[in-house]
């Protein structure tokens, strides 16, 4: 049958079972939007193209499916770059469709032309410029396959206007793509080495990362840890891959990790790292990271192996399949840790937890941000999907909200993108309209994409925003306090809108808490309303995130709120 390029695009999206697109129209994509008008695919009109990418990203992280967004050419396309880079750093599968000027005008500096494939080459898993309608269908199919396979990531497809308007014969049976599938199955000798290393170890530790969640391997990792009573720590991206309320869970490690997690890493003799890339915020000084341990690294991406930390046993493979093989092999070979050795190790981690627990002091008439997060956890019993902005709000959430399930903590890790949380929450809520979705935000970060309140209001996407309002760019101010003698150079954000009035101006509910006694009632009310709600909590202005490892230091050297160095 004869179809136009725009019709083929919609056909391919339906074949990929795309149910929602986040986008913003413009001249070069009008043919596509005309087809969307007739389509059953839901479209959410955002207020900025960056918001569209973050929403698609949040949708992808929460569902495990490919998120999709659509924007126009030129500035519409360039506005997606931060969102694409965010997804790329965290290996999130999205497909970004950008409009482009007609092929005859490419390279002529035409109106709203930009070389978006050139611009995004460093921050996409792959990108395409579709030069003819005949290659359109296979390119779209290929884009989705690349985005979701192996180590996932963002793919961009640039669509010239004339390609969308041109007709061609469309035959679904003729669509072919190259085979990208490369599945690494660990050889049996690798499992034998794991058994040998575990048998020799007296103080093993599991380190879980985003690859466990992306690989849908949380159940296998939890089974392995519980079977052999191995304590677990995690990166920011790994939160939720092991239950945060389990006694074996030590919390997040790294710059703002728990004392007991960092000490366990520093004293373990075997570190099983699953789906991690050993980011600098996790390791501190490389030379001292897990200095007493042999390291097993499991990752699907060969380029992540030995990239930052040299390991004794690299295992390239899908995290779920590899952990299944490991559990089976250990059982078949009757691996049993010595009870006395394991109990001594667990006793040691418990002593570290007791010595320096995560704590704060909520007294007086000033709200502590940690108290807001703990109260939210108590009221929801953890039955909520949390997104965050970036900064102190993100770190306090990682520390004080115990995530028991994967895909329930949605945050920008690698790039640390301010303005991520609100549009990501919109994407999550669109995927799961019956689940409670909360964006824990800072007053600085949320203003980066606050225009998306209009999107939430228009479609009654009932996200809840817990705004920890300290009137500062909090994390930057903290560094200025610690390292620049409190010279708060351009981090004071006290000149800000009245967030409650702003919420009401956008047509959503605004609530405010000024005293500690108001925190719980405001949260209860905000969570109960079936509308978008912004809750403004005016918190302690100069509260810091502790523990903290200074840049360039070992993660065993942590600074606490008393400025005491503990190791």
Closest alpha carbon to 405 in 240, 208, 215, 213: 240
Separation of alpha carbons 274 and 54, rounded Å: 26
Pairing of strands 94-100, 126-129: unpaired
Catalytic residue flag (residue 22): no
What is the rounded CA–CA span in Å between residue 388 and residue 409? 8
Which backbone phi and psi does 289 adopt, to 5 degrees?
-75, 125
Residue with tokens 């909090």: 474
Which residues make beta-bridge pairs with 4? 167
* Strands (E) located in 101-195: 126-129, 155-160, 167-169
Q: Going by C-beta distance under 8 Å and a sequence separation of 6 or more, which residues neighbour residue 472?
A: 444, 488, 491, 492, 493, 494, 541, 542
Per the CB < 8 A criterion, the answer to whether 206 and 173 are in contact is no
Catalytic residue among 4, 65, 161, 464: 161
Burial 107-134 (b: 16+ CB within 10 A, else e): eeebebbbebbebbeebbbbbbbbbebe
The owner of tokens 């085979």 is 179
| List 11, 15, 112, 481, catalytic entry | 112
Per the residue annotation, which of 16, 49, 142, 543 is the catalytic one?
A: 49
The catalytically annotated residue of 14, 111, 351, 542 is 111
**Catalytic residue flag (residue 189):** no
Residues 534/500, Cβ–Cβ less than 8 Å: yes
Q: H helices then E strands: how many in the chain?
A: 22, 22
**Is 11 annotated as catalytic?**
no
Q: Which residues contact 37 (CB under 8 A, 6 or more apart)?
A: none
Asked if 49 is an active-site residue, the reply is yes
Range list of H helices, 73-130: 75-78, 81-89, 116-120
Which listed residue (475, 535, 548, 558) is catalytic?
Answer: 475
Sorted by sequence, the CB contacts under 8 Å of residue 241 that are 6+ apart come out as 208, 209, 212, 213, 217, 218, 221, 234, 275, 406
Q: Which two tokens stand for residue 408?
A: 């329930």
Return the residue matching tokens 């230091």.
553
Name residues whose C-beta falls within 8 Å of residue 127's C-beta, 6 or more positions apart in sequence: 116, 117, 120, 121, 155, 156, 157, 158
Cβ-Cβ contacts under 8 Å for 485 (sequence gap 6 or more) = none
**Residue 112 designated active-site:** yes
Radius of gyration of the chain from its Cα atoms, rounded to whole angstroms:
24
**Residue 343's CB: how many other CB atoms inside 10 A?**
12
From the list 513, 499, 524, 375, the residue with the least C-alpha distance to 446 is 499
Active site residues: 49, 111-112, 161, 475
């Amino acid at each position: 049958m004869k179809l136009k390029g725009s019709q083929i695009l919609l056909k391919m999206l339906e074949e990929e079972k795309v149910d929602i697109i986040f986008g913003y129209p413009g001249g070069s994509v009008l043919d596509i939007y005309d087809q969307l008008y007739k389509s059953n695919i839901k479209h959410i009109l955002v207020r900025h193209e960056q918001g569209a990418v973050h929403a698609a990203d949040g949708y992808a992280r929460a569902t495990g499916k490919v998120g999709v967004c659509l924007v126009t050419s030129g500035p519409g396309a360039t506005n997606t770059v931060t969102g694409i880079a965010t997804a790329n750093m965290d290996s999130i599968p999205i497909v970004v469709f950008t409009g482009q000027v007609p092929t005859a005008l490419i390279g002529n500096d035409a109106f709203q032309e930009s070389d978006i494939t050139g611009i995004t080459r460093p921050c996409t898993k792959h990108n395409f410029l579709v030069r003819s309608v005949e290659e359109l269908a296979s390119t779209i199919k290929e884009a989705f396959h690349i985005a979701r396979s192996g180590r996932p990531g963002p793919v961009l497809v640039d669509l010239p206007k004339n390609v969308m308007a041109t007709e061609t014969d469309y035959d679904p049976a003729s669509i072919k793509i190259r085979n990208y599938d490369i599945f690494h199955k660990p050889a049996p000798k690798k499992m034998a080495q794991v058994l040998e290393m575990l048998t020799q170890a007296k103080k093993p530790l599991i380190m879980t990362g985003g690859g466990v969640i992306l690989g849908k391997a949380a159940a296998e990792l939890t089974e392995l840890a519980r079977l052999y009573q191995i304590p677990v720590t995690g990166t920011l991206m790994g939160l939720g891959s092991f239950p945060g309320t389990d006694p074996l869970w030590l919390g997040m490690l790294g710059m703002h990790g728990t004392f007991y997690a960092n000490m366990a890493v520093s004293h373990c003799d075997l570190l099983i790292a699953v789906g991690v890339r050993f980011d600098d915020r996790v390791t501190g000084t490389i030379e001292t990271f897990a200095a007493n341990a042999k390291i097993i690294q499991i990752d699907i991406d060969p380029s992540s192996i030995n990239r930052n930390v040299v390991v004794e046993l690299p295992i390239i493979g899908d995290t779920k399949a590899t952990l299944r093989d490991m559990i089976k092999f250990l059982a078949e070979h009757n691996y049993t840790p010595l009870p006395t050795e394991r109990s001594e190790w667990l006793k040691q981690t418990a002593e570290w937890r007791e010595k320096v627990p995560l704590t704060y002091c909520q007294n007086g008439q000033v709200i502590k941000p940690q108290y807001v997060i703990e109260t939210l956890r108590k009221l929801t019993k953890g039955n909520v999907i949390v997104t965050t902005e970036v900064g102190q709000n993100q770190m306090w959430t990682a520390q004080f909200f115990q995530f028991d399930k994967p895909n329930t903590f949605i945050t920008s890790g690698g790039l640390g993108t301010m303005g991520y949380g609100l549009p990501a929450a919109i994407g999550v809520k669109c995927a799961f309209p019956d689940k409670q979705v909360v964006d824990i935000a800072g007053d600085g970060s949320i203003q980066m994409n606050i225009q998306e309140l209009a999107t939430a209001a228009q479609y009654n996407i009932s996200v809840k925003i817990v705004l920890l309002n300290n009137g500062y760019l909090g994390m930057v101010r903290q560094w200025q306090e610690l390292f620049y003698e409190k010279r708060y150079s351009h981090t004071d954000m006290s000149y800000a809108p009245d967030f409650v009035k702003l919420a009401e101006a956008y047509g959503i509910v605004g609530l405010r808490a000024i005293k500690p006694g108001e925190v719980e009632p405001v949260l209860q009310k905000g969570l109960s309303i079936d509308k978008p709600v912004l809750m403004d909590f005016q918190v302690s202005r100069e509260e810091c995130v502790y523990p903290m490892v200074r840049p360039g230091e070992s993660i065993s050297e942590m600074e606490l709120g008393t400025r005491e160095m503990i190791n």
